[in-house]
Amino acid sequence: MRFLALFCIIFSFIYALPEQFDKQKYSKGEKVFEQKCTECHVKYMDIALLMKNFIEEDNKLLNLKAPTGNEISFRLKSQIGSINDIEFQIIEASDFVKDYLYYPNKAKTICLEGVVKHFNTMPSLKGKISLSEIDDVAFFLYFLEGFNGVNEFYHDETKF
């Protein structure tokens, strides 16, 4: 019985949606992403395909203009703060995106060198997007992938 309880706790810790998830904010952020980011960023692509494209094929397979939303989602959670403190990590991720969108500089990158080397630095979006829109889009990016129950893009991030 105790084992079962422990199993349930661990299972829900990995797979359940954290209490910080807010469907409305996520949807608002998704709209911002579709309006202001998809000109360059594809929302989602399979990670194995992306790795093949960037590492083996020099981006000639997919000819992407920028890292995909799900790559950014994964990096936000693995490179900034700690997934063990989601509440704080969301704030830190949002701060990173706010800074990057206004003052982009590849020296600050959270992406893999093997991915980001294919691109010029992103143009600044200062004047084109408000801080509250960035907060929503950062929230969307944070939850885009890696949490079960958000969308159809779930996969277990502990497996790669």
Residues that bind ligand HEC (CB under 6 A): 36-37, 39-41, 65-67, 72, 97, 100-101, 104, 106, 109-111, 116, 119, 121-123, 125, 129, 137
Q: How far is the CB of 69 from ligand HEC (least distance, A)?
A: 8
Q: How far is C-alpha 27 from the geometric centre of its chain's CA atoms?
A: 15
Shortest Å distance, C-beta 111 to ligand HEC: 4
Rounded-to-integer distance, Cα 130 and Cα 102, Å: 10
- Rounded to the nearest 10°, the torsion over CA 10, 79, 150, 19 is 60
Q: How far is the CB of 74 from ligand HEC (least distance, A)?
A: 11
Q: Smaller CB distance to ligand HEC: residue 86 or 129?
A: 129
Q: How many angstroms from the chain centroid is the CA of residue 16?
A: 18
Give the chain's end-to-end CA distance (angstroms, integer).
32
Residue type, 3: F
Residue 62 or 104: the one with the smaller Cβ distance to ligand HEC is 104
Residue among 41 and 77 whose Cβ is closer to ligand HEC: 41
